[in-house]
Structure formats: structure tokens, C-alpha cells
Amino acid sequence: MAIANTTRRVPEPKPLIDALQAMLGDRCSVNPGILDRHGHDESYHETHKPDVVVFPENTEEVAAIMRLARKHGSPVIPFGVGTSLEGHVAAMEGGVSIDMGRMNRVVEVNAEDLDVLVEAGVTRKQLNNYLRDQGLFFPIDPGADATLGGMASTRASGTNAVRYGTMRENVLGLTIVTPDGRIMKTGGRARKSAAGYDLTRLFVGSEGTLGVITEVRLRLYGIPETMAAAVTPFATIADAVNTVIRVIQSAIPVARIELLDEFQMKASNSYSKLDYAEQPTLFIEFHGSEAAVAEQVELVKAIAADYGGGEFRWSVKPEERTKLWQARHDAYYAGMSMRPGSKGWPTDVCVPISRLADCIVETRKDIEACGLVAMILGHVGDGNFHTTILVDPNDPAELKRAEDFNDRLVDRALAMGGTCTGEHGIGFGKIAFLEREHGEAVGLMRLIKQTLDPENRMNPGKIFRS
């Protein structure tokens, strides 16, 4: 490939920084704290600082920044709020970090058509607060209050995907700025179209390596008439997972169905001040009409009973449900709190649902055999689960054990027909796994990258090795 090696940096970024400052004034920063904050995400991955951070306010400014970056041969890294988990925002080769935080307007809500156009820096909670009075919501919920541009870029999903799909199914169109600074629109407002190549889906999940997403058009949903959440414990993790498998195979349209193992429950009880049993547990949510929810609840209860499931503890009031899901979302921080000074190393395999119990049980055994401290939790309705390995970042031997464990986990998932990443993406943490999973098709992906970004300036070192 005709792209530069990993040690490339802009030899002298000052002329570019000067030009950006002339254009943007104080919306262009080289403050060391700001550079540092834009050099890493929430994961254990090391920091790679950009040379400069800019804060554009509209698509035209992004295009102008891209043209300047091109002129100076500089890498460009789009930045949302930095909640990714595979080092996606790290400036591996320096360059310009484009912070989308000021592009946070909800541009247009079409309530009658259940669609919305937002700037890429709008966060999912901001959008849902904005929509609530209209009886609408956007369901994709990766836990973190990520930006919708970032969620599109990583093909995010999360707890509601079992019912509502992922960003792949819920992005209707995009405004993108190409590496040479042109503005393009993909997709549209029609619910379906057979007009040409699906550029929207090409950019969803491309992790900022093909261009900058500046606007996202999303599909919305009416807030269901009834929403109820329940927590129910099981004697073994296999019982909990087998309940999930039966629920999914029975096509019961649960809105969320999440697993937390006994170690995660202990951590969450402590961190989120809850009093649930410290056993493998399912968090389940039901959406629909009153009658539909009642029917779903009965079916799920009967299946859970077959696997020895305990009492269903209900959260129906909005504030109770919010507290419950906040605890679920805080599971990652809860885990880390169990071992002060540790960093969380989140794994992310996803397997066909019929293999999920095997995969999780084998993974639990592996954790114990290799002496790591790790919790298992996940979006089990999709076949997707995480282990949060608590690693001491200053202990190379432990880091190596975690790496080897993750390696075995990915091989286990691939052998079962699964994927190395259900929702976190490749970033720079999973490049080797992408090759292992997709083989020769990665060559086709690289060919597309080379064509759309021939100078390899868009988030270099992510998805592919530079």
C-alpha cells in the first residue's frame, strides 16, 4: 500500500496551526490539557495527542478545516465526546482533532415521519430530552452519553438493539465532508430506496477513516404506551443465558435483555447502592401496549421459571427504570471501583445465539483458569457480551495475561461463527482480529480506504495498520 509508516507526523505543524487559528480564533487550541483530553478515549489504550484541536460550528467550517489539513498534509481525527473503547480518537500520527461538540443542534424533527436531522455533536441524551415532549425517542443506547456522530462512526448499539437494531438500521442518511473538503449527502428521508450504492452504510462503522460525518438523519420511534423493567436472578450463568436463548428463539419482542454475572452484580450493588442478589442476573425491559407487555411478561416468566429463575423485581415508574438502567450503564465504572488503580479492558465478542451459553460458560472458566479479575455482562439478546478485565496498567505480566485471554476469547467466538466486535469497533486495538475474522475481504476494505482517502490522512492507524 502506498501509505506512510506509523512514525509519520506532520514535520512542522505550526503553519497549519497558524492558519487554523487565523480562521477559528479561540476555537482552535493547543492547550496541553485539551490536546491530552483529545488523545485518548475511555479505554486502557495509551494516549496519542493531536497537534491541535479545532471546534467548528457548521459543516462549511469542517470543509474549510479539511481543505487546510489537506494543503498541509495533516492527519484529521473526528472527535465526539471520547467515549469509544478501542482507541478510536487517538491521534496516532498527530494532526488535527476535530471536536464536534459545538455542532450540537437538532436541525429538524419530522414527527409525522418519525425522522430527525441532528448535527454530529448532539448526544443521545440531549436528543431524547429534546424529543420527549413530542412523545418520540431514539432508542439506540450504548450506555455512555455518546454523540450521534460518534455512534454512527462506530456502528454503536447497546441495550435496546435486540428490539430496535443498531446504528446500521437506524441511520437514514448522512452529511459527510470528504478528505479533500467536499460536502456530500447520502441516503434520504424515504424509508427505503434502491437508488445506487448504500454510501450511508459504508460510512456507518467506518470510524472516521473515510471522511467526517457532520450531520446524521435518524429514525425515531413513538414512546411506547407501557414500559416495564424487571430484574431476576438465576442459580447459574448457564440458566440465565439459556433463558435468553429461549426468549429470542421464541421471537418475544423484549426491548432489552441484559446479563450481569455474580461478580458484576456485586460490583454494581456496591457502586450504585443497590440490593440485588449477587447471582447471575437478567435485566429485562418490555415495551408495547398494555396488553402486549402483559403477554410478553407471562411468556418470559414461564421460560425463566423453566430455568429456575427467581423473583421478578419490577421497575415501572420512569425514575425507577432510569435508576436501574443507569446502574447497568455504570457497570464498567462499578467494575473498576472494585480494584482501585485498575483500568478496565472491555472485550466485545458476539456469537450466534445458539452458541451463547457455551461461549460464556467457557469464557468464565478461562477467566478463572488464568487468574484474571473480570466480570461478564452484555447484550445477550444479540449474542453480544463483554468481559471487563480489571488490569493494573503498570503490570506488564498481567497485561500480557489479559491480552492472551482476549486472544483466546476472540478465537472461541470466531470458531462459533461470531465476530470479534459486536459494537465497540476496531480502532487500533483490534486490527489483528479484523484480519483474522474477515481474511481477504479486508483487502477490499483497504482498497476502498485507499480510494476515498488516498493520502491516508483520515484517522490513520485505525481499522487498518498504517
The residue among 268 and 387 lying less far from a second copy, judged by its C-beta, is: 387
The residue among 263 and 286 lying less far from a second copy, judged by its C-beta, is: 286
Q: Min. distance of Cβ 354 from a second copy in angstroms? A: 4
In whole angstroms, give the CA distance from residue 328 to residue 191.
32
Q: Min. distance of Cβ 229 from a second copy in angstroms? A: 20
The residue among 182 and 317 lying less far from a second copy, judged by its C-beta, is: 182
Q: Min. distance of Cβ 192 from a second copy in angstroms? A: 5
The residue among 200 and 342 lying less far from a second copy, judged by its C-beta, is: 200
The residue among 107 and 445 lying less far from a second copy, judged by its C-beta, is: 445
**C-beta separation of 171 from 200 below 8 A:** yes
User: Which residue type, as a one-letter code, is found at position 283?
Assistant: F
The residue among 102 and 436 lying less far from a second copy, judged by its C-beta, is: 436
Q: Min. distance of Cβ 369 from a second copy in angstroms? A: 25
Grid cell listed for 16:
497549519
The residue among 295 and 366 lying less far from a second copy, judged by its C-beta, is: 295
Q: Min. distance of Cβ 446 from a second copy in angstroms? A: 9
Q: Min. distance of Cβ 32 from a second copy in angstroms? A: 32
The residue among 104 and 178 lying less far from a second copy, judged by its C-beta, is: 178
φ and ψ at 80, to 5 degrees? -95, -95
The residue among 250 and 270 lying less far from a second copy, judged by its C-beta, is: 250
Per DSSP bridges, beta strands 52-54 and 28-29 are: antiparallel
- Give, in order, the Cα–Cα distances in Å from 232 to each of 20, 280, 282, 297, 384: 55, 9, 5, 12, 19
Q: Min. distance of Cβ 426 from a second copy in angstroms? A: 6
In whole angstroms, give the CA distance from residue 152 to residue 157.
9
In whole angstroms, give the CA distance from residue 363 to residue 390.
15
The residue among 164 and 263 lying less far from a second copy, judged by its C-beta, is: 164
Q: Min. distance of Cβ 272 from a second copy in angstroms? A: 27
The residue among 6 and 110 lying less far from a second copy, judged by its C-beta, is: 110
Grid cell listed for 83:
467515549
Q: Min. distance of Cβ 193 from a second copy in angstroms? A: 4
Q: Min. distance of Cβ 440 from a second copy in angstroms? A: 5
Q: Min. distance of Cβ 13 from a second copy in angstroms? A: 29
The residue among 157 and 268 lying less far from a second copy, judged by its C-beta, is: 157
